[in-house]
Amino acid sequence: MTTVSSPATPETHPSPLQALRTLRADGRLAERWPDVAPLLAELASTGAETDLRRAGSVLSQVDRAQVLAARPETETAVVAVTGHSTLGSLGAPLAAEFGRHGLLVETRLSDFDAYQRDLRDTGSPVYAADVDLALCVLDPQLLLDELGSPWQAEDLADAARRKLAELERLAAGFTEHSGAALVLNTVPLPRAVTHQLVDHESRAHAGVAWREFNSGLLRLALAHPRVHVIDLDPLVAAGTPLNDPRMAAYAKAALGDDLLARYAREVAHVARMLRGRTKKVLVVDADNTLWDGVLGDDGPDGIAAATTFRGEAFGTFQRLVRQLGSQGVLLAVSSKNDHDNVVQVLREHPDMVLREADFARVNANWQPKDANLQDIARRLNLGVDSFVFVDDSPFECGLVAGSLPQVAVVRLDDEPALHVEKLLADGWFDTPRLTAEDRARAAQYRTEAERAGLLESAGSQEEYLSRLGVRVTLAPATAGDIDRVAQLSLRTNQFNLTTVRLQAADVAERLADDSHLVLVVRSADRFGDNGVVGVVFAQRDGEELRVDNMLLSCRVFARGIEQTAVAALLAHARATGATRVTASYRPTKKNKNVREFWPSQGFTTTHTADDEVRFRHHLDDLPAVPDHVHLDSALEGSTR
């Protein structure tokens, strides 16, 4: 008798939510905290919003102290929450959304309807020194509670003006007394409000008043650098319900769980942005991502990004990619195709919105895509943690997510009409403000190919630098430099000697303080102007000039720019009566290459610890400006 064995059961892997629950049940969640972000990223990529909230509930039970004891390098955030209605369900989505970005969040929820007291009283929890973000969650009832019964459109307009003036005062007071960011939100207009008015004229007046209230809130973000306003209207327009009427009536939950979950995602984007973790590079696949079809199988005539229904959707996606590129996002292609064929399509195909010149790098070959991303990173001199990778292949997305977890992976499917929504879902490229350097970044990176050609033709590094014609300008920062200086402080990781992050408001405060010196470093060469590429923060204390930090863009490494800036700074210090200059280095995972920078400039080590090394220069023997650099400095004591 022959026994027929049953087929082997395929190996099954636990879902991300199951994996998190198992880690918690086994007591290993603290020690395995680095695994949390990839698990949540996988969960978010499936669109399982309910499971993401459940994962947040698991994370809400994590002991913060245990995580920090097991993983002291863990990045943390403290979020204070106040508002007008019931907000208890906000904690879980905040834990999940912050966890997606590797942040261990502590959420401190205030009492019901306590926002006025909390924002007025500088001793309240929202003013605690360790708070990073203070959320003041606004809802429609904020205005409706101001109305009598019955009411008219004019009453609503009066209430909106009063409430806006109150919020303006509260925001101004908060920014004056706290270093944290204040997060407000616009308030969606419920149909149940406008349709209490039976005449269309009154409805129009009410709609205008409500929208002017929201416009005033948005203007607060323009007036105060520490205020951020999340616009809830786009979330409601995307189909997220304002609330559950039953919960609004019985539990005073004026904003529903779904909307609060989407709001939490936007808050996490703000937190990520404020920590300088904005992505810089968008790497896109080609086949069935940039265009409909497979170039190798269908040929150039068989692919489309226009002229067909599906092709039009791909064309819309290309316009989005180009729009992002116009705002400083570097674009690159990683495609399993023959290079010449892809380049020919980008140059000549009539459907293409994007052209070869739009991309800083086109990697079309048959290498694994994780290796391709690493190659692009090397050629752009950027870390892969600044990359967003977009592909329609589950295999390629899984490969990159598994081998390069620092890369943000956007998984597309076979519905091109959803490509735009998927790419924009997480605001990977959000930045407080665009600068002139942002808009010129793509062109600046394209000139790197010309510099590389000069380097290859030169007989030595010295000949290359001599022929490059480096020019450095060093000058005190002005009000017009604030946004760019803050951007460098937030986003520079490799040449960042202390990694002290400064927002625009912090930079403005230093500019207004005569004891502080904020110097901007500009560079140019024979191939063009690089703009503001570096910053020096220093502070005068009697005969000592203390360098608080120095930053330099990775685009201009190894050209003598940093040595030139230090030589000019030291000469200025001696010329203005200083007897010593002190500086420090605080190690991170990304700035190890500049550990010996200060000693290389003649500084001696005065203190060494795991978290900080301190240095001193006595100004008796000053370093010279490199021979190949032309220095134009407005500082006293500069000789070149």
| Cα–Cα distance, 126 to 121 (Å, whole number) | 9
Q: Tell me which of 226, 254, 274 is where a domain ends.
A: 274
Boundary residue ending a domain (241, 274, 307): 274
Amino acid identity at 199: D
Examine the pLDDT at 9 and tell me if it is beyond 50.
Answer: no
Name the least confident of 196-205, 357-366, 490-499.
490-499
Asked whether residue 587 is assigned to any structural domain, the reply reads yes
pLDDT at residue number 14: 82
Burial class (CB in 10 A: 0-12, 13-18, 19+), 307: exposed
Enclosing domain of residue 468: 458-633
Per-residue pLDDT, averaged over 533-558, amounts to 90
Residues 126 and 220 in one domain: yes
Domain of 591: which CATH number? Answer: 3.40.630.30
- Bridge-based pairing of strands 544-552 and 495-496 is antiparallel
Average pLDDT, the chain: 91
The H or E element spanning position 91 is helix 91-100
Compute, in degrees rounded to 10, the torsion defined by CA atoms 23, 29, 33, 35.
0
Helix residue spans in 131-275 (DSSP H): 141-144, 153-177, 191-194, 200-223, 233-237, 245-250, 257-274
Q: Residue 440 in contact with residue 420, Cβ under 8 Å?
A: no
Q: How confident is the model at residue 391 (pLDDT cuts 50, 70, 90)?
A: very high
Q: Residue 248 is encoded by which pair of tokens?
A: 């609004």
Q: What is the pLDDT of residues 77-106, one digit of tens each?
A: 999 999 999 999 999 999 999 999 999 999
Question: Region 236-247: what's the mean pLDDT?
Answer: 94
First to last CA, the chain: 97
Contacts 24+ apart (CB under 8 A), 22-26: 24/58, 24/61, 24/62
Q: How far is CA 183 from the centre of its chain?
A: 16
Over residues 395-403, mean pLDDT: 93
| Predicted pLDDT of residue 4 | 39
Q: State whether 108 and 238 are in the same domain.
A: yes
Which structure tokens are listed for 286? Answer: 């080609």
Higher pLDDT, 432 or 351: 351
Any domain includes 376: yes
Same domain, 66 and 105: no
Residues 38 and 83 in one domain: no
Contact (CB, 8 A) for 362 and 286: no
Q: What does the alpha-carbon distance between residue 279 and residue 273 come to, in Å, rounded to a whole number?
A: 9
DSSP 513: -
Asked if residue 451 is part of any domain, the answer here is no
477, burial (CB in 10 Å: exposed 0-12, middle 13-18, buried 19+): buried
Same domain, yes or no: 291 and 246: no
- Asked if the model's pLDDT at residue 113 lies above 60, the reply is yes
- 238 and 260 assigned to the same domain: yes
If one counts the domains in the chain, the total is 4
Q: Are residues 243 and 387 in the same domain?
A: no
2 Cβ contact partners less than 8 Å away, ≥ 6 residues apart: none
pLDDT single digits (tens) 574-597: 999 899 999 999 998 888 888 999
Residue range 312-339, pLDDT digits in tens: 999 999 999 999 999 989 999 999 999 9
Residue 78 and residue 66 share a domain: no
Asked if residue 342 and residue 480 are part of one domain, the reply reads: no
Is residue 440 pLDDT above 80, yes or no?
A: no
336 and 407 assigned to the same domain: yes
450 located within any domain: no
Whether 92 and 181 share a structural domain = yes
- pLDDT of 414 higher than 50: yes
Confidence band, pLDDT 50/70/90 cuts, at residue 5: very low
Q: Any idea what the CATH number is for the domain that residue 154 is in?
A: 3.40.50.1110
Show which of 27, 54, 73 is a domain's final residue.
Answer: 73
CATH number, domain of 297, equals 3.40.50.1000
Q: Work out the percent of the chain whose per-residue pLDDT is above 70.
A: 97
pTM listed for this prediction: 0.85
Is residue 268 domain-shared with residue 120, that is, in the same domain? yes
Q: Give the C-alpha separation, 290 to 310, whole Å.
A: 11
Is 409 inside any structural domain? yes
Let me know if residue 94 belongs to a domain: yes
Question: What is the phi/psi pair of residue 408, to 5°?
Answer: -80, 120
Residue 585 lies in a domain: yes
- pLDDT tens profile 121-164: 999 999 999 999 999 999 999 999 999 999 999 999 999 999 99
User: What is the DSSP annotation of 570-629?
Assistant: HHHHHHTT-SEEEEEE---SS-GGGTTHHHHTTPEEEEE-SS-EEEEE-SSSPPPPPTTE
**Does residue 640 lie within any of the structural domains?**
no
